[in-house]
A and B are shown apart, each in its own frame.
Chain A
Amino acid sequence: MSAIANRYEFVYLFDVTNGNPNGDPDAGNLPRLDPETNKGLVTDVALKRKIRNYVALEKEGDPGYAIYMQEKSVLNNQHKQAYAALGIEPEAKKLPKDEAKARELTTWMCANFFDVRAFGAVMTTEVNAGQVRGPIQLAFASSIEPVLPLEVSITRVAVTNERDLEKERTMGRKHIVPYGLYRVHGFVSAKLAERTGFSEDDLALFWRALTNLFEHDRSAARGEMAARKLIVFKHEHAMGNAPAHLLFDKVRVERSGSAEAPARGFGDYRVSVDAESLPAGVSVTELF
């Protein structure tokens, strides 16, 4: 499969209603906040985790679409015995000596694992070729307006330990964002795709993953999360035809109607893409 031939940038909008899109381990799992602006944050790695999970679900067991960084919930490990049965002794701490060997290893990893091909991975080799930089690069997602996280106390009628039986119920806490529309910027480099073999099919799968990112990620903590818009800028030239920040500026998200009341739905925002004034050689598509 040949690699993609165009550079892409994308703007991805998603929202959360009464949920916690990304907890902050430093703040007792409160939704992440930018302390300077009070805008909500979702880290790049949180989104990559969801992309991996989606690909693992859609391509379960398909050759070439294995996921290296797995969560236990998608564990499919019954073949481990067969693997051990082959009786291959790992060579103790022996790293590939020559670069060719290391390259062979990385090529094989790229061919077999979607996440290595898309996001890259670090391999413990002493040769430089052991490190893969993937074509896809995501930045932090940040909410359009400041969000105000709420702390909701909840009770549980059962207890964990027998000695607490007389307590009858335990209290817990949930942190939620009543509503937040988040915007994230992403980059796809055609040149790095060449090196990992990231193909058009992979790209289509990636767009599909973004489209359905939250459909298979429901949980008590997340509330209602939904992908709202995916705007893709495609450059004719592999190196690109225009600076990325100029393209990102073409996508504007504003409040519709009065900005006085807090936003509580996607309908409170208006997204506009200025497709008229695009630089030459760049085309824009709204995938949804």
Chain B
Amino acid sequence: MTYGVRLHIWGERALFTRPEMKVERVSYDVITPSAARGILEAIHWKPAIRWVVDSIQVLRPIRFESIRRNEVGGKLSAAAVGKAMKAGRTDGLVAYVEEDRQQRAATLLREVGYVISAHFELTAKAGPDDSVGKHLDIFNRRARRGQCFQAPCLGTREFPASFALVEEGAEPPEPADELRGERDLGWMLHDIDFANGMTPYFFRARMVDGLIEVPPAMSSEVRA
């Protein structure tokens, strides 16, 4: 038996990039289960546990904004690092911003707020000391005090997430009136299976009065 947690998160901006539009990034309408899991993991995670997102409550109207930035195209080459290590010096191991500049626009979300409902499962790596109660306690304590391993972010690291624990029995914040009714958000990224060659899984997201039920990872509604 596992116990659920509810976490209220909010922020000024968010960018949950659609994989099909990742060069000039376009955000999904709402947070993905994968990003929600990342936020939970930024507060508490051990190899012994795996977070499972059950539902996402959207609190604020969905609004977009566009921003264009100078970025670099290249990644650090492992071979070049190996070479510099052998040579024992850093000369020449640089990326010149001017030579590798790309201007990319991002369509991001403004003023977001969500309540993530989630629970965790113990994994094969769980030792004899790992009990559900222990990890649940650690998470709740940290979330209540605002402690985190690293500042959680809304999709990308330049958009930090503020968070607060929704205590058991407490009423979570009310969603905005604009979110009333049913809305089909289309196919959305569920999560990426890192164990099996980073296979992305998708599900059909449906929002009813702002609430999105997230199907479990192995269900028939989730497809690779």
- Which residues of A come within 8 Å of B, CB atoms? 24-26, 32, 34-36, 41, 43-45, 49, 63, 66-72, 75, 77, 79-80, 82-83, 86, 88, 90-91, 93-96, 102, 104-105, 108-109, 112-113, 121-125, 128, 130, 133, 135, 137-140, 185, 187, 189, 191-192, 237, 239-246
Indicate if the CB atoms of A124 and B94 lie closer than 8 Å: no
Does B92 belong to the interface (CB within 8 Å)?
Answer: yes
Nearest Cβ distance between residue A61 and chain B, in whole angstroms? 10
CB-based contact B72/A242 at 8 Å = no
A-B contact pairs, 19 of them (CB 8 A): A26-B66, A32-B67, A44-B158, A63-B90, A66-B93, A66-B94, A68-B94, A70-B94, A95-B78, A96-B78, A105-B82, A109-B76, A124-B77, A137-B158, A187-B150, A187-B151, A189-B148, A240-B148, A241-B146
Binds A, one of B50-58, B96-104, B179-187, B204-212: B96-104
Any chain A CB within 8 A of the CB of B3?
no
Q: How far is the CA of A109 from the CA of B153 in the complex (A)?
A: 25
CA–CA, A104 to B86, complex, Å? 12
B125 at interface, CB cutoff 8 A: no
Contacting B145 at CB < 8 Å: which of A113, A189, A242? A242
Closest 3 CB pairs of A and B: A243-B146, A79-B91, A187-B151
In the assembled complex, B34 has its CB within 8 A of some CB on chain A: no
Is the CB–CB distance between B149 and A139 below 8 Å?
no
B134 beta carbon closer than 8 Å to chain A: no
Q: Is B222 an interface residue (CB 8 A)?
A: no
A123 touches B92 (CB 8 A): no
Are the C-beta atoms of B148 and A239 separated by less than 8 Å? yes
Q: Does B80 belong to the interface (CB within 8 Å)?
A: yes
DSSP majority for the A interface?
Answer: mixed
Contact B75 A122 (CB under 8 A): yes
Query: How far does the Cβ of B140 sit from chain A's closest Cβ, in whole Å?
Result: 14
Closest A residue to B164 by beta carbon equals: A243
A-B contact count (CB 8 A): 164
B79 surroundings in chain A (CB, below 8 A): 90-91, 93-95
Cα–Cα, bound, A25→B93 (Å): 28
The answer to whether B92 and A25 touch across the interface, beta carbons within 8 angstroms, is no
The proximity string for B residues 79-91 relative to A, scoring 1 for CB distances below 8 Å and 0 otherwise, is: 1111111110111
Q: A68-B76, A187-B150, A189-B150 are in contact. List 20 more A-B contacts (CB 8 A).
A: A34-B65, A43-B69, A45-B69, A66-B93, A67-B94, A72-B99, A77-B94, A79-B92, A88-B86, A95-B78, A96-B78, A124-B78, A137-B157, A139-B160, A140-B12, A189-B148, A241-B146, A243-B145, A244-B146, A244-B151
Q: Which residues of B contact A43 (CB under 8 A)?
A: 67, 69, 158
**Chain B: minimal CB distance from A30 (Å):** 12
Provide the residues of chain B in CB contact with A139, threshold 8 Å: 12, 158-160
**Contact across chains for A122 and B85 when beta carbons are under 8 A apart:** no
Specify which of A72, A90, A122, A123 is in contact with B96 (CB 8 Å cutoff).
A72
Residues of B with C-beta under 8 A to A121: 76
Once the chains bind, are A25 and B69 in contact (CB under 8 Å)?
yes
Cα of A187 to Cα of B159 in the assembled complex, Å = 11
A191 touches B150 (CB 8 A): yes
Q: Who on chain B is nearest to A26 by CB?
A: B68
Q: Is the CB of B96 within 8 A of A112?
A: no
Instruction: Give the chain A neighbours of B164 by CB distance below 8 A.
Output: 243
Q: Which residues of B contact A25 (CB under 8 A)?
A: 68-70, 103
The residues of A that contact B76 with a CB separation of less than 8 Å are 68, 109, 121-124
| Given A43-B67, A71-B98, CB of A102 within 8 Å of CB of B78 | yes
| Contact assessment for A140 and B13 in the assembled complex, using a CB-CB cutoff below 8 Å | yes
- Given the complex of chains A and B, what is the CA–CA distance between A113 and B93 in angstroms? 10
Contact in complex: A77, B91 (CB < 8 Å):
yes
Q: Please, how many angstroms separate the alpha-carbon atoms of A44 and B75 in the complex? A: 19
Compute how far the CA of A104 lies from the CA of B142 in the bound complex, rounded to whole angstroms: 32
Q: Is the CB of A86 within 8 A of B160?
A: no
- Contact A72 B98, beta carbon cutoff 8 Å: yes
A43 to B66, CA, bound (A): 13
B68: which A residues are within 8 A, CB to CB?
24-26
Q: Is the CB of A26 within 8 A of B146?
A: no
Q: Closest residue to B85 on the A side, CB-wise? A: A108
Q: Is the CB of A241 within 8 A of B147?
A: yes
Q: In the complex, are the beta carbons of A80 and B92 less than 8 A apart?
A: yes
- Chain B residue at smallest Cβ distance from A240: B147
B93 near A68 (CB under 8 angstroms)? yes
Taking a contact as CB atoms closer than 8 A, the residue among B13, B98, B147, B160 that contacts A239 in the complex is B147
Contact flags (1/0) for B156-173 with A, using CB distance below 8 Å?
A: 011110111000000000
B153 touches A137 (CB 8 A): yes
Q: Which residues of chain A are near B77, meaning CB under 8 Å?
A: 123-124
Q: Are B96 and A88 in contact (CB under 8 A)?
A: no
In the bound complex, residues from chain A placing their C-beta under 8 Å from that of B97 are 49, 69-72
